[in-house]
């Protein structure tokens, strides 16, 4: 038998580790990739197929049909629906941003399958795994995990492909696709497994399968007269039971209700030993702690998650956009926003400020919401800022530049979900080459020299200034979850990125990365002791342990050793990843 268990069974390995005497490291030091002599043959894969509920999948890059017949319906759909997140999620070989389907060879050649077939002369497999399991049941997940472990394969776990670290793809790897695990159950009264008689129970908790996306979870909750704290993306295409949650999970509602990790009650998963475990405050509590912020694809394969829900309440939306032909009035408007940010999040306001230069103008759009307050309370906290910006527009002159203001008012919506459906169409944001850099800014940074903060942030084109921390997030004990403690001091998530057209050379992509690295250093210097949001951050953080996990890293690594003693689950920037080479193939 080829693989990790050829000379040492997984069970005996685990027992030896747990009693404190790890066995001699006799497994291969490198994962087996497609094309290697160790890669399983057709008969071996055929045997795996017999254990599954559906046949094996053979993922291909999303644009592949356009290289066989540009006029076929599949290629027409590629061009018509390229920026539709829910549609991309339905394809095993697609990522939400196509640069993660490509692969840059050591020689500098880009192996890709571009939507515009005239850019490249062929459709390469890139970083898309060559074969995999489409999981429909827990047994499918167990079979896939056991197979990957037995044959020492590099395993990629994928749901929707919303991932900015490239964890949903991997050249020559074996894929486990959880997207079609769509079970949803509403519990009028939920009692966590192992809870004592006096333990807490939860009304109308929602249990969702690994493949459920937020638009499906929100709809199920709304149909039950409840609301949830979840992700925001066009069409609600982000997975609700995967990387979003395991990395922390922020929302515009977080200043009022906390992060995703603060609202999860129970998580079930399959470990590298093939065991299906249920984790919560009473069962495998150490693993439950680590899963809440320790990162996706690190400790096991999540099969289901149970969330608390809340009564539906009205939501107020405050929105405004400002533009100018000069930067000074825009900077003044943004500086004032930085100054009042902490007071806004402490009052429950959460939302997003997007900078988007257009032609010779600069400016930003401001959209933030607050749930379950009165008209008077909503206006008391937000109208002074709108009045300030309106005064800038009134007093600006030609020397300062003309400030144009649109919006600057609040509206009431019956629920968060009704507002979400109105604001977030099913297209946009995805389907373009994009890499991110980000940093969490704590209260002491914003409440200090806020003019300096505003100046540094505005130097970063495409900035998103996100009010998704502070408030309720800051009131949670930093030790209660595996989430980076920097989150509990943060008020703002500052994120920006680089983009490039298809066909860009590896050298030009690297120049863009270098430029973003320089910009990120200036933002990081605003609060060097802080950290970054694991799900939306640079793939090249110089100190990933500190940036993503802070002082929790050592404890997270110990939990991983306990539940994944063979290091089957290794992902970019994840716990234990720095013990592997750059390709996450060989131990170092």
How much is the pLDDT for 475? 98
Residues contacting residue 223 through CB under 8 Å, at least 6 positions apart = none
Is the alpha carbon torsion for 580, 104, 299, 135 positive or negative?
Answer: negative
In DSSP notation, 190-249 reads: E--TT--TTS--EEEEEEEETT-BHHHHHHHHHHTTEE------GGG-SBSSSHHHHT--
How much is the pLDDT for 199? 86
Q: Determine contact, residues 39/2, Cβ cutoff 8 Å.
A: no
What does the alpha-carbon distance between residue 45 and residue 311 come to, in Å, rounded to a whole number?
48
Q: Position of tokens 């050591």?
A: 106
Among the residue ranges 361-375, 394-408, 528-542, the one predicted with the least confidence is: 394-408
396 confidence band (pLDDT: 50, 70, 90): low
429 confidence band (pLDDT: 50, 70, 90): confident
| CATH entry 3.50.50.60 includes domain 315-550 | no
Residues contacting residue 80 through CB under 8 Å, at least 6 positions apart = none
What does the alpha-carbon distance between residue 292 and residue 309 come to, in Å, rounded to a whole number?
17
Q: Determine contact, residues 226/417, Cβ cutoff 8 Å.
A: no
338: closest CA among 528, 492, 522?
492
Quick one: how far is CA 384 from the chain centroid? 34
**Residue extents of the structural domains in the chain:** 10-178, 184-311, 315-550
Topology alike, domains 10-178 and 315-550 = no
How much is the pLDDT for 26? 46
- The CATH class of 184-311 is alpha beta
What does the alpha-carbon distance between residue 341 and residue 335 come to, in Å, rounded to a whole number?
10
345 confidence band (pLDDT: 50, 70, 90): very high
Quick one: how far is CA 80 from the chain centroid? 25
27 confidence band (pLDDT: 50, 70, 90): low
pLDDT digits (tens, 9 = 90+) for 522-542: 999 999 999 999 999 999 999
How much is the pLDDT for 152? 97
**Structural tokens at position 451:** 């003019």
Q: Determine contact, residues 333/387, Cβ cutoff 8 Å.
A: no
pLDDT digits (tens, 9 = 90+) for 248-280: 999 999 999 999 999 999 999 999 999 999 999
Residue 564 has pLDDT above 80, yes or no: yes
How much is the pLDDT for 401? 56
- The CATH class of 10-178 is alpha beta
How much is the pLDDT for 477? 98
What does the alpha-carbon distance between residue 270 and residue 577 come to, in Å, rounded to a whole number?
20
pLDDT digits (tens, 9 = 90+) for 71-112: 999 999 999 999 999 999 999 999 999 999 999 999 999 999
Cα angle 585-178-58, degrees, rounded to a multiple of 5: 65
Percent of the chain at pLDDT exceeding 90: 85
How much is the pLDDT for 519? 93
Residues contacting residue 109 through CB under 8 Å, at least 6 positions apart = 506
What does the alpha-carbon distance between residue 526 and residue 315 come to, in Å, rounded to a whole number?
33
Q: Position of tokens 């910006």?
A: 389
Cα angle 248-254-260, degrees, rounded to a multiple of 5: 30
Element (H, E) at 548: helix 544-549
């Amino acid at each position: 038998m080829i693989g990790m268990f050829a000379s040492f069974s997984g069970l005996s390995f685990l027992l030896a580790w747990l009693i404190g005497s790890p066995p001699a490291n006799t497994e291969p030091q490198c994962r087996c990739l497609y094309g290697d002599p160790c890669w399983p043959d057709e008969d071996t894969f055929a045997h795996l197929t017999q254990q599954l509920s559906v046949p094996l999948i053979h993922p291909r890059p999303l644009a592949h049909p356009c290289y066989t017949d540009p006029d076929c319906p599949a290629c027409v759909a590629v061009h018509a629906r390229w920026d539709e997140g829910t549609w991309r999620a339905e394809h095993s070989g697609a990522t939400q941003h196509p640069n993660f389907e490509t692969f840059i060879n050591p020689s500098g050649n880009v192996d890709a399958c571009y939507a515009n077939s005239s850019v490249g002369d062929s459709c390469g497999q890139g970083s898309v795994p060559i074969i995999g399991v489409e999981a429909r049941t827990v047994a499918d997940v167990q079979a896939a995990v056991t197979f990957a472990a037995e044959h020492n394969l590099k395993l990629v776990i994928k749901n929707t492909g919303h991932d900015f670290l490239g964890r949903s793809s991997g050249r020559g790897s074996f894929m486990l696709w959880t997207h079609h695990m769509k079970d949803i159950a509403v519990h009028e009264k939920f009692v966590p497994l192992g809870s004592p008689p006096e333990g807490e129970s939860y009304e109308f908790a929602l249990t969702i399968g690994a493949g459920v996306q937020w638009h499906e979870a929100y709809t199920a909750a709304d149909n039950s007269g409840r609301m949830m704290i979840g992700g925001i993306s066009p069409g609600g295409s982000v997975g609700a039971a995967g990387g979003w949650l395991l990395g922390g999970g922020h929302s515009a509602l977080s200043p009022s209700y906390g992060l995703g990790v603060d609202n999860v009650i129970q998580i079930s998963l399959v470990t590298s030993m093939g065991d299906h475990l249920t984790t919560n405050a009473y069962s495998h509590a150490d693993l439950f702690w680590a899963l809440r912020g320790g990162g996706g694809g690190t400790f096991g394969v999540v099969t289901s998650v149970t969330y608390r829900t809340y009564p539906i309440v009205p939501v107020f939306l405050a929105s405004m956009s400002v533009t100018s032909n000069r930067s000074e009035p825009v900077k003044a408007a943004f500086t004032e926003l930085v100054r009042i940010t902490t007071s806004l999040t402490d009052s429950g306001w959460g939302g997003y400020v997007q900078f988007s230069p257009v032609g010779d103008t600069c400016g930003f759009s401001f959209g933030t919401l607050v749930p379950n307050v009165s008209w008077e309370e909503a206006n008391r906290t937000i109208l002074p800022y709108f009045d300030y910006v309106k005064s800038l527009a009134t007093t600006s002159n030609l020397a300062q530049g003309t400030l144009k203001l649109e919006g600057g008012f609040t509206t009431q919506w019956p629920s968060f979900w009704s507002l979400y459906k109105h604001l977030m169409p099913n297209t946009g944001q995805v389907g373009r080459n994009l890499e991110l850099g980000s940093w969490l800014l704590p209260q002491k940074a914003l409440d200090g020299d806020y003019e300096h903060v505003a100046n540094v942030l505005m130097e970063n084109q495409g900035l998103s200034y996100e009010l998704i921390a502070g408030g309720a997030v800051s009131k949670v004990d930093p030790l209660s979850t595996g989430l980076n403690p920097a989150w509990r001091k943060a008020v703002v998530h500052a994120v920006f990125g680089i983009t490039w057209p298809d066909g860009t050379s590896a050298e030009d992509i690297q120049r863009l990365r270098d430029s973003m690295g320089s910009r990120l250093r200036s933002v990081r210097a605003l609060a060097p002791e802080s950290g970054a949001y694991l799900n939306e951050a640079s793939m090249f953080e110089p100190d990933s342990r500190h940036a993503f996990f802070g002082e929790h890293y050592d404890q997270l690594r110990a939990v991983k050793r306990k539940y994944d003693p063979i290091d089957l689950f290794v992902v970019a920037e994840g716990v234990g990843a720095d013990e592997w080479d750059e390709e996450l193939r060989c131990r170092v």
